[in-house]
Amino acid sequence: QKEVEQNSGPLSVPEGAIASLNCTYSDRGSQSFFWYRQYSGKSPELIMFIYSNGDKEDGRFTAQLNKASQYVSLLIRDSQPSDSATYLCAVKVASGSARQLTFGSGTQLTVLP
């Protein structure tokens, strides 16, 4: 079982719709959860991070964390074509570990105009 799992997609949504991206993780001791956006040929860009159960909103983005279910999601409201990218879920898997972040394989999102 992979430590961080994401559906690879591609996920297509029409412009203006809500895009829902999901991520599960295996280590119950995980403490911090991050969503990065990566455009083709570019390095990842941090969108949001969340530490506590519940929802965290930032503009059109909402991160949702459920530690009991080991599940973290990212919702993008009013999706725009410029949101088309690969979204990487990253988890800090263990306190004090030399490996700081473990990344999922990413979900490719396409927002159709």
Partner 1 sequence: GAVVSQHPSRVICKSGTSVKIECRSLDFQATTMFWYRQFPKQSLMLMATSNEGSKATYEQGVEKDKFLINHASLTLSTLTVTSAHPEDSSFYICSARDRQGGQPQHFGDGTRLSIL
Q: Which residues bind partner 1 (CB under 8 A)?
A: 32, 34, 36, 41-46, 49, 88, 92, 98-106
Nearest approach, Cβ of residue 8 and partner 1 (Å): 9
Closer to partner 1 by Cβ: residue 41 or 113: 41
Closer to partner 1 by Cβ: residue 15 or 58: 58
| Integer Cα distance of 34 and 11 in angstroms | 19
SS3 content of the chain, % helix, strand, coil (to 5): 5, 55, 45
Nearest approach, Cβ of residue 17 and partner 1 (Å): 25
Nearest approach, Cβ of residue 86 and partner 1 (Å): 9
Structure tokens at 80: 């725009």
Residue 43 Cα distances to 16, 40, 54, 64, angstroms: 26, 8, 28, 24
